[in-house]
Structure 1
Amino acid sequence: MHVRTLTGCLAAALLSLPLLSGQAVAAESPAAARVLTYDASGSAEFRSAVDRGAAIWNESVENAELRPVSAGQRADIRILADDGWPRALPTSLGKGTVWIGRQAVDEGYNTVRISSHELGHILGLPDRKPGPCSSLMSGSSAGVPCTNPYPNAAEKAEVEDNFAGAAGSRAVAGPVPVLIED
Structure 2
Amino acid sequence: MHVRTLTGGLAAVLVMSFPLLDGRAVAAPSADSAVPVVAARVLTYDASGAAEFKSAVDRGAAIWNESVDSVELRPAASGQRANIRVVADNGWPRAVPGSLGNGTVYIGRQAVDQGYYTIRIAAHELGHMLGLPDRKPGPCSSLMSGASAGTACTNPYPNAAEQAEVEENFEGARTGALM
Return the TM-score normalized by structure 1.
0.79
Between the aligned partners of 1:18 and 1:97, the Cα distance in structure 2 is 52
**Which of 78, 83, 91 is the aligned partner of 1:76?**
83
CA offsets per residue over residues 100-147 of structure 1, 9 Å max, x none? 000000000000000000000000000000000000000000000000
Q: What is the Cα deviation at residue 169 of structure 1?
A: 6.5
Please name the residue that 2:61 is paired with.
54
Gap change, CA 1:29 and 1:169, over 3 Å in 2: closer
Higher relative contact order (CA 8 A, sep 6+): 1
Contact 1:93 1:122 in 2 (8 A): yes
Please name the residue that 1:19 is paired with.
27
Q: What is the Cα deviation at residue 30 of structure 1?
A: 2.4
Runs (5+) with no aligned partner, structure 1: 1-14, 172-182
CA offsets per residue over residues 28-71 of structure 1, 9 Å max, x none? 33221000000000000000000000000000000000000011
Runs (5+) with no aligned partner, structure 2: 1-15, 18-24
Return the TM-score normalized by structure 2.
0.80
What's the RMSD between the two structures over aligned residues? 2.3
Q: What is the Cα deviation at residue 24 of structure 1?
A: 8.0
Task: Tell me the number of residue pairs that the alignment of Structure 1 and Structure 2 aligns.
Answer: 156
**Sequence identity of aligned pairs in percent?**
71
User: Considering only CA atoms, is the larger Rg found in Structure 1 or Structure 2?
Assistant: 1
Q: Which amino acid aligns with 2:81?
A: R
Please name the residue that 2:172 is paired with.
165
Gap change, CA 1:98 and 1:169, over 3 Å in 2: farther
Contact 1:163 1:169 in 2 (8 A): no
